[in-house]
């Protein structure tokens, strides 16, 4: 089996140690608003919470996603829809953030765990 890259493991929400086990119980398209996360990797038993309150830091990653969505939505509305009224901006941004919330949640946790979790890849645990 070909070794999965670190960025591929991050983007598919896989365990940072074995790069095989799922982080979340359901894939994004199976249950859109399900954010159930495993306590440990189903493949290598690596814990997904290195310390209590670890994922509070993921809020900063989520904030960056929210800012990017807000700025992109504002740019599109201003340049392609003729600068509509303020309530249109607010409505479209809120709907966009609500739709993308599960994606932001899962990817902010995945990014934070992979970059700041202190867990390194170990080929011994991959299948």
- The DSSP-derived string for 49-109 is -SSTTGGGGHHHHHHHHHHHHHHHHHHHHHHHTT---HHHHHHHHHHHHHHHHHHHHHHHH
Please give the pLDDT value at position 2. 64
| Domain region containing 75 | 6-125
pLDDT for 23: 93
For residue range 74-92, list pLDDT tens digits in order.
Answer: 999 999 999 999 999 999 9
Whether residue 118 is contained in a domain is answered as yes
- Residue 1 lies inside a defined structural domain of this protein: no
Report, as ranges of residue numbers, the positions in the chain whose pLDDT lies below 50. 1
pLDDT at 32: 63
Residue 47 lies in a domain: yes
- Which DSSP string do the residues of 2-13 spell out, in sequence order? PPPPHHHHHHTT
With contact defined as beta carbons under 8 Å apart, do 103 and 111 qualify?
no
Per the CB < 8 A criterion, the answer to whether 59 and 36 are in contact is no
In a domain, 88, yes or no: yes
- Given this model, what pLDDT does residue 78 score? 96
- If one counts the domains in the chain, the total is 1
Predicted model pTM: 0.86
């Amino acid at each position: 089996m070909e070794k999965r890259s670190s960025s591929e493991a991050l983007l598919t929400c896989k365990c940072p140690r074995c790069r095989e086990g799922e982080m979340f119980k359901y894939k994004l398209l199976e249950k859109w608003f399900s954010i159930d996360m495993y306590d440990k990797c189903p493949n290598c038993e690596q814990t997904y919470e290195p310390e209590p309150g670890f994922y509070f830091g993921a809020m900063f990653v989520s904030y960056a996603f929210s800012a990017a969505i807000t700025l992109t939505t504002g740019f599109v509305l201003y340049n392609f829809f003729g600068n509509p009224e303020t309530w249109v901006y607010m409505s479209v941004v809120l709907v966009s953030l609500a739709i993308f919330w599960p994606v932001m949640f899962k990817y902010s946790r995945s990014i934070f765990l992979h970059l700041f979790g202190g867990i390194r890849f170990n080929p011994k645990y991959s299948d």
